[in-house]
Each structure stands twice: as structure tokens, then as C-alpha cells.
Homo-oligomer: A and B are copies of this chain.
Amino acid sequence: MIQIPKEFGVTIHEPSRLTARSIGIDTYQEPVAYMREDCPVCRSEGFEAQSRVLVTGNRVSIVATLNVVRGDWLAHDEIGLSEIAWQLLGSNKPCPVTLSHPDPVESFRHVRAKLFGHTLSSLELRTIIDDVAGRRYSDVQSSAFLAACVGGRMTSTEIVELTRAMVESGERLEWPQAEVFDKHCVGGLPGNRTTPIVVSIVTACGVIMPKTSSRAITSPAGTADTMETLTTVDLSLDAMRTVVEREGGCLVWGGGVDLSPADDMLIRIERALDIDSEAQLVASVLSKKIAAGSTHTIIDIPVGETAKVRDRGTADRLAEVLRHTGDALGLNVQVVVTDGSQPVGRGIGPALEARDVLQVLQNHPDAPQDLRDRAILLAGLVFEQSGVAGTGEGSVRALEVLEDGHAWKKFQAICEAQGGLRTPPQSSHQQILAAECSGRISTIDNRRLAKVAKLAGAPNAPAAGVDLHVHLGDCVEVGAPIMTVHAESPGELAYALGYLSRHPDLVAID
């Protein structure tokens, strides 16, 4: 409605151009862009620190948070990108980009509405999750979304629709078989590496279990890290299909396949807040199963003071929501609540856990009984769920398959199909820690024990970690070995022992 003088019309429609380059700053998952304060684009676009900017180049557009630079390590006509921003832009050399204001994230108004008591519709959840997956939410926006979902504020319908939205935000695998099985542990127990054993037992009897696993994020080892000490886990989708066609199952890293990408963004913020939202947990677990093409899953919820779920009531409520949500989305969910008071097996760390897994599969006399028992329990449940065994008869069948060597043969065959079975590496530096007094082992702190293994170098140093030689209730004499710390360098061994010296009651003796 206003006449704009012609001489001005032109200046502005020209987009703001700069050269983008990587400046090697790891801001984790939040893309950050660095521009000089006196850069002409900052002025013309009115950008300031913390502005959200749309960077377009290399045929890709990304949204980044702006940090304004007052040093001279960046040129006037340059824009520096943090590692994740550079990775998303997908260029391998400095490239021209244009800068502009991103459109406001439309879906965030649904988050605002949710905070004010509104119930989110399927479509609203879908647009929120699409924007989260597309990294259009800043960290503080994701935090507000998570805060809007905790404390029982999500109805069961919202949880179902949140899960569906997460499934639809990423890739989906499809399998020719009508029934595809999975198993999952809600987590928090170091050493609880039942997956390779369960997959071997059940696929030995014809059950289909194309298992994709994660690498460690905050733990000393993920199943993918442990398996990587034994075989190749970084398979393409085609290679994975070939393995599953041949063996009925696989044990690969899921990171190559983009399943439920929104979940990865949200988990990072949940961790920073240390908030476990039931809705997010259910959506996170089930969306990955459904996206991976599973029709049936067994979910193990360990309960213990230093496990993720701390009491039975919480576990039961969680189980109910998992089952209900699974039902609504065509996934048969069976839940088993287990003891989460102490680590499982002896090893904590990729290679040490691989050793435990091999001992169980090989029926070695030293095989950790607790790991073996858990794997049999879970494999038995899969047998019952799949009809291979009748109700109450699954464990007996699982034990037979393990004891007669079929599970071990199947494990070898899967590893061969994935590229060959390897021997896990051994640590170069060890330190045994002994009991300072005689008595009964009264508590073991799962979280701190995991921290010791991480400080010793796990999972990056695959042979590093902790071997725990005791269980709760064991009686020990003074000087008896409690644990062995394994490291690949003397420095890392020292870091782990230093932490132990500050937390000597991490394993308590009464």
C-alpha cells in the first residue's frame, strides 16, 4: 500500500552471499553458524547472536543458530559452520551460500498450545516431529516440547500418535516374512549383553530377528560396539538383507539406516535435562522397532536403584503403556520386568562383554551364569511369542538350543555372513582392585561402575573397561579381587583408578 522508490527496490532482493567453510567446532547436534559482527549480512539482515539463520548452498538449506565473531580468524565474507552444520550442508570444500531469515517454525505453536493444556492431534504431532527431525527446532524449543510431554500430560492417544509420527519421520524397513521379531532392554545395566545370545538361539530355530543395534551414547558399550569386536557391523541395507535371507537374523549397527531420526534429537536434550518422560521413552523404543519392520517384540525392564527404572510400580505402568501403544500400531509387545540391582555378566566394555557372550554361547564352564539365565529367559519368551514353544516351555527350549551347540553354530554363521568372525582384542594394561575389608557385598553402583569403564577408555578403546568379580550377597575376604580395570594406555588406567579412589564405596562391603 506504500510506494517504494524504484532505486531502492533492487538492492534488497539480491540475496546475502558469503563463503561457507568448516571451522572444526563440535557443537554436538545443534548446528551453529559463525559470522563477523561487521559482516555486511549481519547488518543488512538484522542478525544478532542467537538469531536463527537459514543457510542455503550446495543445493541444501539448513537452519543454524548464529554466534557473532569479533576476532579476525574469520574473514568479512566468510561464514564458519560447526561440524554438524557443515555435515548437513554436505559440501567437501568451501562453497558459496546465501543467508536469510528462516520462516518461524510453524509447528512450535502446537507446543505452546500443549503447554497451555491443549491435546495434540495426530497431524500436530506429525508436524512437530517432522520439524524436530529436520533440525528446525532449536535446543530450547526441543526442551520446551519435552517439558510439555512429561508428568502424565500425554494422553494414551497422544502417545500412540507421537510414536506413529516418529516412525513416519524416517526410513522404514520391510521384510518378506509375515512375522518379524525383536528384543529390547530399557537399559541402565552395565554388561547386560543378551542380544547376541538371544538372536543366535531364536534364529537357530527359524525365528526371524533382523536385529539393528546402537553404539554407546553415554554407556561404556552398545551392542553394536560389542559386536564390532567380533565381526563387521557397518552393513549397507542390501548387505543386511542378504545376511537375513541366509541366516534369518543379523547383528548389525542401526546407525546406517535413518530410523526414527527425531528420537535422536530429543534423546540428547532429555539427557541434558535428566528427564525421563514415559511418553518419550515409549515412543522412542517402539518407533525404532516399528520402523525396523518388527511385528513382535519382547521388552526387558530391569528395575533397580541405580538402573533406569527404579521401582516396580513405575515398571508396571510403563509396561502397560508399551503394550497399549504397541497394540494400537500393530506391534505385539510383551514385557518382562527383571532385577536391575547389579550389572549382568562380568565384563563392562566392548571386548570384555564379547568375551562373556562367547563363553555363554560356547557353554564354557566359566560362563557368567546370570547373563546365561537372562538370555535364556528372553529367548524363551520369544519362542513362546512366536509359537515355537508353548506357554511356560520357552526357556526349556532355549536352554536346549544353547546347550546342544546350535546357538553357537548359528552365531558363527551370522558373523561369517556379515564378514567373518574375529577374536576380540585384549587390554594392554590391567589393575586388580582388592577388598579393603572382609564382609558381604551389599551394594554395587551401576552408574558409577559404567563411568569407571568409560574413563578407562570404553567404548573407543574396545579392550578397555571393567571386569567385575563379585555379585551382590557374595562374601569376600580382605584382599580378595573385586574388579579388574582394563585399559589400552597407562594414562587412561590412571583416570579410572583416580575416579575409583574418589568413590571407593561404589562397591560396598558390609
Chain A positions within 8 Å of B, measured between CB atoms, are 1-5, 8-9, 11-13, 23-28, 34, 37, 43-44, 46, 48-50, 67-71, 73, 82-83, 108, 112, 115-117, 138-144, 146-148, 150-152, 268-269, 272-275, 431, 433-437, 451, 454-455, 479, 482-483, 491-495, 497-502, 504-509
| Docked pose: A146 CA to B116 CA in angstroms | 12
- Distance in Å: Cβ of A196 to nearest Cβ of chain B: 27
A501 touches B25 (CB 8 A): no
Closest Cβ neighbor of A501 among chain B residues? B4
Inter-chain pairs besides A25-B67, A25-B69, A70-B83, 16 sampled, C-beta below 8 Å: A1-B508, A1-B509, A3-B436, A4-B497, A8-B498, A8-B501, A25-B34, A26-B68, A28-B49, A28-B50, A112-B273, A112-B274, A112-B275, A141-B273, A144-B144, A147-B148
For the complex formed, measure the closest distance between the CB of A489 and the CB atoms of chain B, giving whole angstroms. 9
Complex Cα distance A506/B1, Å?
Answer: 8
Complex: A117 Cα to B498 Cα, angstroms: 40
CA A433 to CA B26, docked complex, whole Å: 47
Residues on B with C-beta less than 8 A from A274 are 108, 112
Give me the 8 closest cross-chain CB pairs, A-B, nearest first: A12-B498, A147-B147, A24-B71, A24-B70, A143-B143, A140-B143, A26-B68, A8-B497
Give A502 to B108 CA distance when docked, in angstroms. 25
Task: Choose one: B25, B138, B139; the contact of A71 (CB below 8 Å).
Answer: B25
User: Are A455 and B46 in contact, CB atoms less than 8 angstroms apart?
Assistant: yes
Q: Which residues of B contact A152 (CB under 8 A)?
A: 116-117
Nearest neighbor of A71 in chain B, beta-carbon distance:
B24
8 interchain pairs, CB-CB under 8 A: A1-B504, A12-B498, A26-B68, A28-B50, A43-B491, A46-B455, A140-B273, A147-B147
Cα–Cα, bound, A3→B485 (Å): 13
Tell me which residues across on chain B come within 8 A of A37, comparing CB atoms. Answer: 26
User: Across the interface, do A507 and B1 meet the contact criterion of CB distance under 8 Å?
Assistant: yes
Task: Tell me whether B24 and A433 are in contact (CB under 8 A).
Answer: no
Closest residue of chain B to A68, judged by CB? B26
Q: Are A504 and B4 in contact (CB under 8 A)?
A: yes
Known contacts A73-B73, A117-B151; decide if A139 and B141 are in contact (CB<8 Å).
no
Contact A482 B71 (CB under 8 A): no
Give the CA-CA distance A462 to B269 in the complex, in Å: 41
User: CB distance B83 to A4 under 8 Å?
Assistant: no
A138's partner among B26, B272, B431, B435 (CB-CB below 8 A) is B272
Pick the contact of A68 from B25, B68, B139, B269 — CB < 8 Å? B25
Q: A43-B491, A46-B454, A115-B147 in contact; A3/B433 too (CB < 8 A)? A: yes
B112 to A3, Cβ gap below 8 A?
Answer: no
Instruction: Please indicate the chain B residues that have their CB under 8 angstroms from the CB of A499 in the complex.
Output: 12
Task: Report how far A1 CA is from B73 CA in the complex, Å.
Answer: 51
* Chain B residue at smallest Cβ distance from A50: B28
